[in-house]
Amino acid sequence: MNNWVYTDIVKDHFLNPRNIWDEKEGFKADGVGEVGSLACGDQMRVGIKVQDNRISDIRWLTYGCASAIASTSMMSEMVKGMSFEEAYHMTPEKITNALGGLPEHKFHCSVLGDKALRAAIDDYLNKNNLPNPYKASVAKIVCECKNITDEQIEELVRTKQVQTFEELQEKTGLGTVCGKCKNKAKDLFAEFRHIHGFM
């Protein structure tokens, strides 16, 4: 343990995780988000309680490594009291910075927490027939030639409308004009398949 590669904050959140979803506690979530799959090695569920369009409380369960557990624990502490808009803009970078950093090869483990949180907010808004003005604000353009965003790619993967990168290109035209976005788009496509449990 002398050569612990994580920061003391990461170690603390891993050994003493906050806001774990204990079934015996009787936590009743207003919105639930789930990403990943056991087949991929990482799976996460986040439940939120909502009051005045703010996250009043949060619980989570994850199957993953120390980084996944620590980053979700930190995220759960950070978002309490946040408005939907603030919470929707939670990023892996913000979580990692709050932890004092993660080893580079473990950074992907912090990706699931913010995705599951957004999925929980989406679930709450859907259940209550409320509009979601936040989705568009977090979308980033991946293919400038065809104006395709990361959110559009993720939605096509999540809903199983595309199974391969070639199908994604056929459906959207992404990467078929100048081609400079192709490598980034392939990486994103693989990441979204991992997050949504299709690998």
Write the pLDDT tens digit of every residue in 49-70: 999 889 999 999 887 777 778 8
* Residue 3, pLDDT score: 44
Write the pLDDT tens digit of every residue in 17-52: 899 988 888 889 999 998 876 555 667 899 999 998
Average pLDDT over residues 122-150: 85
**Residue 119 and residue 47: Cα distance in Å, rounded?**
10
Query: What is the pTM (predicted TM-score) of this model?
Result: 0.71
From the candidates 65, 109, 143, 181, give the one annotated as an active-site residue: 109
Task: Note if 143 is an active site residue.
Answer: no
Write the pLDDT tens digit of every residue in 149-194: 888 888 888 888 998 999 999 999 888 888 888 898 898 888 888 7
* Residue 79, pLDDT score: 93
**Best CA proximity match to 55, nearest among 123, 102, 7:** 123
**Residue 42 and residue 62: Cα distance in Å, rounded?**
7
**Residue 94 and residue 118: Cα distance in Å, rounded?**
15
What is the number of other CB atoms lying within 10 angstroms of the CB of residue 13? Answer: 25
Task: Note if 109 is an active site residue.
Answer: yes
**Residue 48 and residue 8: Cα distance in Å, rounded?**
27
